[in-house]
Amino acid sequence: MTGWLVRIALFALFLIPVVIEQYSVNYLFVAFAAFLALQARGLKKPSMLILVAIAVYVAIFLCSIAIDLFGGGNLALRRSVSFAIFISIFAFSVVDFEEADVRAFKIALISVAVAISLQSLLGFFLAGGNTVGFGLKNVVGSQRYGFVYLLALFVLIRFPTTKRWELIAKYLAGYVIMTGVLLTFSRASIFSLGLVLPLYFIAPLLTKSGRSVEGGKRLARRLAIGLAYCAALYVVLPVTFEYYDQSIFNRYTVAVEETLAGAPVEEVFVPAGSEGARLTIWSAVAQYVSDHPFLGGGYLGSWSLNSVVTGSAHNQYFDVLMRTGFVGTVIYLLVLGSIFLFLWRKDQGLFWGGLTILVYGLVHETFKESQGAFILAFLIGMYATDRRSRSASSQISMDGSSGQAWDKIDGHA
Residue 169: band (very low, low, confident or very high) from pLDDT cuts 50, 70, 90: very high
Residue 255: band (very low, low, confident or very high) from pLDDT cuts 50, 70, 90: confident
Judge whether residue 211 has pLDDT over 50: yes
Give the helix/strand (H/E) hosting 19: strand 19-20
Q: Which residues contact 376 (CB under 8 A, 6 or more apart)?
A: 89, 367
% pLDDT > 70, the chain: 92
Q: Measuring CA to CA, how many Å separate 318 from each of 150, 330, 380?
A: 22, 12, 21
* Most confident by average pLDDT, 81-90, 127-136, 305-314: 81-90
pLDDT at 402: 44
Judge whether residue 191 has pLDDT over 70: yes
The pLDDT of 210-216, averaged and rounded, is 76
Per DSSP, helices labelled H in 347-412 are: 348-360, 370-399, 402-412
Cα(75)–Cα(104) distance, integer angstroms: 40
Cα(281)–Cα(317) distance, integer angstroms: 12
- Full DSSP string of 179-233: HHHHHT--HHHHHHHHHHHHHHHHGGGGSTTTTSHHHHHHHHHHHHHHHHHHHHH
Q: Whose CA is closest to 119, among 21, 17, 20, 22? A: 17
pLDDT at 210: 67
Bridge partners, 23 (sequence order): 20
pLDDT at 266: 60
Q: At what angle do helices 76-87 and 48-70 cross, to 10 degrees?
A: 170
Exposed / middle / buried, residue 264 (Cβ in 10 Å: 0-12, 13-18, 19+):
exposed
Mean pLDDT of the chain: 89
Give the helix/strand (H/E) hosting 187: helix 187-202
Cα(209)–Cα(219) distance, integer angstroms: 12
Residue 408: band (very low, low, confident or very high) from pLDDT cuts 50, 70, 90: very low
Judge whether residue 82 has pLDDT over 70: yes
Encode pLDDT of 390-405 as tens digits: 887 776 666 654 444 3
Cβ–Cβ < 8 Å for 142, 360: no
Cα(102)–Cα(348) distance, integer angstroms: 13
Cα(104)–Cα(112) distance, integer angstroms: 12
Q: Which residues contact 393 (CB under 8 A, 6 or more apart)?
A: none
Q: Whose CA is closest to 90, among 137, 54, 49? A: 54
Whole-model pTM? 0.92
Judged by DSSP in three states, 30 sits in helix
Judge whether residue 249 has pLDDT over 80: yes
